[in-house]
Amino acid sequence: MKGYVTVLKPGLYTTIQDRGRFGFAKYGVPQSGAMDQFSFEFANLLLGNYKNDACIEWVIQPPTLQFNSDTRICLTGAEVDAFLNNQEVEMYQQITVSKNDILTLKSCRNNIYGYVGIRNGFLTEVVMESRSFYDSITSKQKLVKGDKLEYNSNINSVVSYAHLSAPKYGNSGSAIEVFKGPEFDQLSSREKDLLLKSRFTINGASNRMAIQFMESISNSLPQMLTSPVLPGTVQLTPSGKLIVLMRDCQTTGGYPRVLQLTEIAINTLAQTWINEQIQFQLVDF
Amino acid sequence: MEYNLRFRQYSERAILIEWPQKIDQKMLQNILFCKKSIEEHRNEVIVEVISSYNSLLIFYLSTIENVYDEVLVLKSLCSISFEPSDQKQRLWKIPVCYDPALAPDLLSFSEQKKLSIDDVIDLHTTPLYQVYFLGFLPGFFYLGGLDKKLCLPRKVTPSRNVKKGSVAIGGEQTGIYPKDSPGGWHVIGACPVDFFDVNKVESSKILPDDLIQFISISVLQYADMSANKVSPSFELKPTFL
């Protein structure tokens, strides 16, 4: 039986995400996928879902949702005070939802991206093998008030009471692990020092495409040809600004790629609050 | 090996192969040849191979366990003596309406370049452009072969909304915007045809190695072709060289 979730309040920028859209970069199509893959995975894991089942991703301001039939859901990622109708519910464990229940979330402002997983995943359209929202690929770019998201309300599976404590992300000043990028060795030793010893403050202009910092460093690198990039690639612009490409980034870029974040670092950085500081820490492959 | 290649790990799941820093049609043939041989032989462990002017990024299904072994495999695949494919190159003739009514920057562009609009059209429709790779936006292709007389640095202030189908020039490059997007290139024409369809397995008709040529059409032809998009009586087809 099919049920659906009605979006009563959409929040700031709420989307459907799965692991991402892989294999279409050759057409210039971004990977997309959950910004914090770690929290996304936990939601599916706790629900006994497939790894790639689609979750709702919200950023900073969570949505309010109403369910029209029974199911089970799970909340992970950014910490919230969560209420089903007016009853407080826990994050990081299965929540049993009944017909007409309303889920209200109040953000606690310590992380950025939150996830609402549902038993068997949300069943929005699949485009290029993924349900992840992306402008001009999926018909929707973000959820709006009144949207209805289909789910499978057939939940004859065993209820699990497994509970996980929320993983802790780094605090301000935390180390973000990086590999050397292809153009790293072209930097002067002073530039390398600045890059690896400075603290960088996350700028409010950050989004699903890229995270930017307030600080800049000098840049003496020559121009380069447009080349492939991946989520986690750190670009150095001609004005010395650093841009960390995130899940919705373009497939190619023309700025020197000075660093590459580890997969864990991408998740951690995604969840680091605006105005907080990070420091890059070089690791070997 | 004809070119001096550099292999390096890019991320836990990716290896980058770099050719010399240049834009070159012959080198493109070599890059695409290596791409094909990697795709054929490493199909089971890779997601895809992303190409650009002078590199291939091989993106793996999971963390690369032994990068030395994998690089050795890639090196041997790239050292297979390169035979230019006997497959014929595809040429796409792409209709473009060069009219100030549809191309907001055409007048300012011709003034800045001190060329008449007819000269701009002649210079832009003469070359056979090489498709190098797709990137920037879904369905955007990077072309080589723009006449030097038409090169013009990007706008200082990018436009907030460049319309889908805009044919534009930025620096030494020319291209077609596959969707509405902010952009800093000078829009000199409008193309009424779609090349990109997310619902098709082969989403982009135009692929690396193809050639394209722009064909000047009138405003009336543009309107006709735009209207016919719904039930396509106009089907873009390549000729084989």
> In chain A, what residues touch B196 (CB-CB under 8 Å)?
27
Of A227, A239, A249, A255, which to mutate for an interface test with B (greatest number of B Cβ within 10 Å)?
A227
CATH number of B6-79: 3.30.1360.40
Task: Report the C-alpha gap between B15 and B17 in whole angstroms.
Answer: 7
Is A182 in contact with B11 (Cβ distance < 8 A)? Answer: no
Question: What is the interface pTM, i.e. ipTM, of the complex?
Answer: 0.93
Number of separate helices (H) and strands (E) present in chain B:
5, 14
DSSP string, B71-119: HHHHHHHHHSPP----SPPEEEEEEEE--TTT-TTHHHHHHHHT--HHH
- Over residues A32-51, the pLDDT tens digits come to 999 999 999 999 999 999 99
Is A136 in contact with B199 (Cβ distance < 8 A)? Answer: no
CB of A218 closer than 8 Å to CB of A191: yes
Task: Report the C-alpha gap between B67 and B11 in whole angstroms.
Answer: 11
Provide the edge-to-edge strand list for the sheet that holds A95-97: A15-17, A55-59, A113-118, A71-77, A95-97
Instruction: List chain A domain ranges.
Output: 2-152, 174-282
Long-range pairs, A22-25, Cβ under 8 A, ≥24: A22/A129, A22/A130, A22/B47, A22/B48, A22/B59, A23/A128, A23/A129, A23/B47, A23/B48, A24/A128, A24/A129, A24/B48, A24/B138, A24/B203, A25/A228, A25/A251, A25/B48, A25/B50, A25/B59, A25/B135
* Mean pLDDT, chain A, integer: 93
Of A23, A28, A179, the CB nearest to B134: A28
pLDDT by 10s per residue, chain A, length 285: 899 999 999 999 999 999 999 999 999 999 999 999 999 999 999 999 999 999 999 999 999 999 999 999 999 999 999 999 999 999 999 999 999 999 999 987 778 999 999 999 999 999 999 999 999 999 999 999 999 999 998 766 666 777 777 766 655 557 999 999 999 999 999 999 999 999 999 998 889 999 999 999 988 888 889 999 999 999 999 889 999 999 999 999 989 999 999 999 999 999 999 999 999 999 998
- Over residues B131-160, the pLDDT tens digits come to 999 998 999 999 999 999 999 998 888 888
Instruction: List chain B domain ranges.
Output: 6-79, 90-240
Return the number of CB contacts < 8 Å for A and B.
107
pTM of the complete model beyond 0.95: no
Q: What is the mean pLDDT of residues B88-114?
A: 94
CB of A130 closer than 8 Å to CB of A247: no
- Over residues A196-223, the pLDDT tens digits come to 999 999 998 889 999 999 999 988 888 8
Band of the pLDDT at B232, cuts 50, 70, 90?
A: very low
Chain B: residue nearest A177 by CA? B11
> In chain A, what residues touch B135 (CB-CB under 8 Å)?
25, 28, 226, 228, 250-252
Is A28 in contact with B14 (Cβ distance < 8 A)? Answer: no
The fold for domain B90-240 equals Cyclophilin (2.40.100)
Q: Beta B173-176 vs A102-107: how paired, if at all?
A: unpaired
CATH number of A174-282: 2.40.100.10
Instruction: Identify which of A84, A148, A164, A77 has the alpha carbon closest to the alpha carbon of residue A116.
Output: A77
> What is the model's pLDDT at position A153?
84
